[in-house]
Amino acid sequence: MPGKIIVFEGVEGTGKTTIARKLFKYMINKGKKAIFLREPGGTEISEKIRKILLDCKNKNISKKTEFLLYLASRSQLIFEKIRKLLKKNYLIILDRFYLATIVYQGYARGLDIKFIKAINNFVIEDMKPHLTIILDASLDTIYKRIKKRKIINRIDKESVFFHKKVRDGYLKEYKKLKNCYLINTENKTVNQVFEMTLKILNNKKLL
């Protein structure tokens, strides 16, 4: 596959969307063929699934249903966008990808991680990220940033305990992954985090 996949991961409020969008604009300004896609979402069908997943009214959703909906959204994104754009040499910037399912559905909801990994592999096939950047911050900071949001979704509303399990999951998993970097965003401005992101991309020859 000639294109590249760069993924931003991390707990809610760590700055993924902010940094991923900034990187997308930076790449476009440089004249690169780039696209920004979010998970869940990124296609018409996947965005419909996203609505179900993030709707605060859907309190009764089972963890298995939730897991399968995330995978369904991802499967459609791969089929409609990622596979084709990689072939066309695009730099694909993803706001979350398969690691989020391991951490949220595995570490935080308690579903079997081996099983999650198997289904993830079934869905993503050879579309592995070339680089994953995990943004991290303390739970205090995360809460302050989430509070600034205009719209609070079903996952934002989860308990501190849930977000702690997610954060611990990312901190454990990132050590096991190839091409995965962690940026501590605590007390750093958006611009400082962005500069650190560019440094990593430069080292990986992705700029």
**Site track 13-42 with Mg ion (rule: CB under 5 A), x = hit:** ---xx-------------------------
| Closest residue to ligand ADP in the complex (CB) | 15
Residue by residue, DSSP assigns 150-189 as SS--TTTTS-HHHHHHHHHHHHHHHHHSTTEEEEE-TT--
**Nearest distance, CB of residue 134 and Mg ion, angstroms:** 14
> In the chain, which ranges are continuous DSSP H helix?
16-29, 44-54, 63-77, 83-87, 98-101, 113-124, 139-147, 160-176, 190-203
Residues 6+ apart with CB under 8 A from 57: none
Coil, helix or strand for 1? coil
62: exposed, middle or buried (C-beta count within 10 Å: 0-12, 13-18, 19+)? exposed
Does residue 153 belong to the site contacting Mg ion (CB under 5 A)?
Answer: no
Of 3 and 10, the one with the shorter C-beta distance to ligand ADP is 10
Residue 163 CA: distances (Å) to CA of 115, 142, 153, 169? 22, 9, 14, 10
Question: Distance between CA atoms of 131 and 3, rounded to whole angstroms?
Answer: 12
**Site track 180-199 with ligand ADP (rule: CB under 6 A), x = hit:** -----x--xxx--x------
Of 81 and 188, the one with the shorter C-beta distance to ligand ADP is 188
Of 16 and 119, the one with the shorter C-beta distance to Mg ion is 16
**Nearest distance, CB of residue 91 and ligand ADP, angstroms:** 19
Residue 70: how many other CB atoms lie within 10 Å: 26
**Site track 98-137 with ligand ADP (rule: CB under 6 A), x = hit:** ----------------------------------------
Of 18 and 105, the one with the shorter C-beta distance to Mg ion is 18
74 makes contact, choosing from ligand ADP, Mg ion, none, with CB < 5 to 8 Å by partner type, with none
Does residue 138 belong to the site contacting ligand ADP (CB under 6 A)?
Answer: no
* Number of residues lying near ligand ADP (CB under 6 A): 15
Residues at the interface with ligand ADP (CB under 6 A): 10, 12-18, 145, 148, 185, 188-190, 193
